[in-house]
Structure 1
Amino acid sequence: MEATSTSPFKIILGSSSVARRKILAEMGYEFEIITADIDEKCIRKEKPEELVMALAEAKVVVYEGAVREKPSSEEEARHFMKGYSGGHAATVSSVLVTNLKTGFRKVECDRVEIYFHEIPDEVIEKLIEEGLVLRVAGGLIIEHPLILPCVKEVVGTTDSVMGLPKALTEKLVKEAL
């Protein structure tokens, strides 16, 4: 597949993330998906920036210095969201671009800070009942209609929080060509 109707290169997305697919499509790229069958929990690094680079397609949520991955239970998701209420969290994403013809390879990180108003318990319960928060890093979905009113400020971009910073991706694709 071609990246655009006039582009002579193909893009392969190494992620099964629906959000990353959506963002890449919004950027006007056509792509195919080839994912690696890896257990991300086996890859450990101390710094969030080092972890996302090691995972090379990941986003992690950082709360009070601790890395938060997908919640392992409804209780953990509830605990995560109650912690964000009236507080703040950060997401750290990495983008890795490899030109398979030339061997060029570059990875960079993007960090976003998210500040929250109080998140009502009924909002937390509805989100848990819906189940989507159990499938995302840190149980954090700032673009969700129930959470949007609780978001006070985003320092950075929503696409980065969703897992693929557009500007950084575009920059690295251009550098790779």
Structure 2
Amino acid sequence: MLEDKFRNHTIILASASPRRQQYFKEMGIPFKVQTIPVDEVYPLDLQGEQISNYLAVLKASQFKDKLKENDILVTSDTVVWHNGKSLAKPQDKSEAVAMLKTLSNDWHQVITSVCFTTPLSQKVVAHKTKVKFKELSEGEIRHYVDHYKPFDKAGGYGIQEWIGLIGIEEIQGSYSNVVGLPTHLVYKTLIAMVD
């Protein structure tokens, strides 16, 4: 039984994201949610995977000295990387529209880093997925931003929402990674840690 594998450990998912929590449920991994807010600020010389790695570790650092012996803390961060630039969560409607206009008719990378922390160790894994948008019309972009308000999503979009259904032509890599969690890597890493 999968539950038996985890019976001697407490998995703490430090994420308020309903999508990440749902993936943990669907993977059959018992977990509890605990979050500590953090300012997601990183050194400006970091690029791509370095940013998501740094932020995943930064989120874990908030739990320093709070973990018990058998706890495994899982923190993560997702970055949308396009033309040498990180597209973070848009601050408002106009920024979300501008982001989608730059992603239109082009490839970008979605990078998710996941940090696994115990009182004695820390391990970071990351996955990159390439995503290609069709040419999005102004009307499609505005419809999406008005109705879905993607202000909590890196790059200003959620692949599982309307814009993903009508706009994404091609994907190379893990789909769940674009949603916000490379489930295959998370499962593999946790199983190795509890075995």
Fold shared, TM-score > 0.5 on shorter chain: yes
TM-score, scaled to structure 1: 0.89
The amino acid across from 2:6 in the alignment is S
The amino acid across from 2:136 in the alignment is I
**Does the alignment pair 1:105 with 2:122?**
yes
1:125-173 CA-to-partner distances (Å, cap 9, x unmatched) read 1211124312101102122134312111110111101111011101211
* Corresponding residue number in structure 1 for 2:189: 172
Matches within 5 A, 1:99-138: 99-100=118-119, 103-138=120-155
- Cα separation, 1, equivalents of 2:85 and 2:5: 44
**Does the alignment pair 1:22 with 2:22?**
yes
- Cα separation, 2, equivalents of 1:48 and 1:87: 17
**Does the alignment pair 1:74 with 2:93?**
yes
Of 164, 168, 188, 1:147 maps to 164
The amino acid across from 2:82 in the alignment is Y
- Cα separation, 2, equivalents of 1:120 and 1:156: 26
With over 3 angstroms needed to count, the CA separation of the structure-2 counterparts of 1:48 and 1:72, relative to structure 1, is same
With over 3 angstroms needed to count, the CA separation of the structure-2 counterparts of 1:82 and 1:99, relative to structure 1, is same
Query: Any stretches of 5+ residues in structure 2 without a counterpart?
Result: 57-75
Q: CA deviation at 1:62?
A: 0.5
Secondary structure of 2:10's counterpart equals: coil
Q: CA RMSD in A?
A: 1.7
**Does the alignment pair 1:157 with 2:156?**
no
**Does the alignment pair 1:96 with 2:119?**
no
**Conserved 8 A contact 2:93-2:149:** no
- Cα separation, 2, equivalents of 1:30 and 1:65: 38
The amino acid across from 1:169 in the alignment is V
**Percent identity between the aligned chains?**
27
Secondary structure of 1:30's counterpart equals: coil
After TM superposition, the runs of 4+ consecutive aligned structure 1 residues lying more than 3 A away are none
**Conserved 8 A contact 2:47-2:84:** no
**Conserved 8 A contact 1:12-1:31:** yes
1:40-95 CA-to-partner distances (Å, cap 9, x unmatched) read 1x223512211111111110101111011001121111111111111111111111
- Cα separation, 2, equivalents of 1:106 and 1:147: 31
Matches within 5 A, 1:30-69: 30-40=30-40, 42-45=41-44, 46-56=46-56, 57-69=76-88
